[in-house]
Structure 1
Amino acid sequence: MISFASLFGIGSSNGNLDLIEQNERVKGEIDFLNDFFVIGGDPGGNYYALSRLDNVHKVLYWDRTHLHADDTAKPDIAEVAECGNLYYVADGFSAFLDMIVAGTMHMQFIAVDDWPG
């Protein structure tokens, strides 16, 4: 199981949640893939990314910190130059969002007004 924490936005005052800033930080780390763009992250500093593989858009999980290196699942794209393994998550962004919605549909959420702190 892979954690999911956030989707990045545009113009965020927090650079850790900004699409452009996050992509600037990692450009060049995974330049063996064309059309690679990080879109979100997990709590461990790893990314979810959109990429085009064989002319098909995919959402990939980039295990940049080697958090899942000892897992039994084999990577869909093995690391190059210690960049971390990549795992297939979904066929495109819409399918990825559908997975998030399906996975959180029955969760109990606390209303923002009732959030502690």
Structure 2
Amino acid sequence: CKSEKRFDRPGRRMKYEEPLPDAAREMLARFGATIEYTDREPDGVVNLAETEVTNDDLRYLVFYPGFGALNLDKTLVSDEGTNFIGEMSSLACVSLYDTLVSDDGLKNLLGLRNLEHLDIGCAPG
């Protein structure tokens, strides 16, 4: 399986000006991650791919709308983690390639009204 990411969404600018809560900053730092803003990703990307992030770690990102894309490729995130992801209302792009998320967990993402791209390649189904 190979993932084809399309995190770029031209024309959308949302750079969030509020500071990242300390708990979220500390969690991201544990995994060497930040929220990256680039011309390609003006809404901000949290890239936790290929880290040891847990379902419970995702709770720190729920109430911070300062990013539009979340990459959790090749992590141990499962259906339990989608409960938190489903509360991240600013997400337009979510990548769950090669995770433990099943069809049941995807139901938790139905409320993401801004979601434009979802990668679930190599998921258990």
Pairwise TM-score range, normalised by the shorter structure = under 0.3
TM-score (norm 2): 0.24
Determine which structure has greater relative contact order: mean sequence separation of CA pairs < 8 Å that are 6+ residues apart, divided by chain length.
Answer: 2
Query: With structure 1 as the length reference, what TM-score do the two structures score?
Result: 0.25
Greater CA radius of gyration, 1 or 2? 1
Higher relative strand content: 1
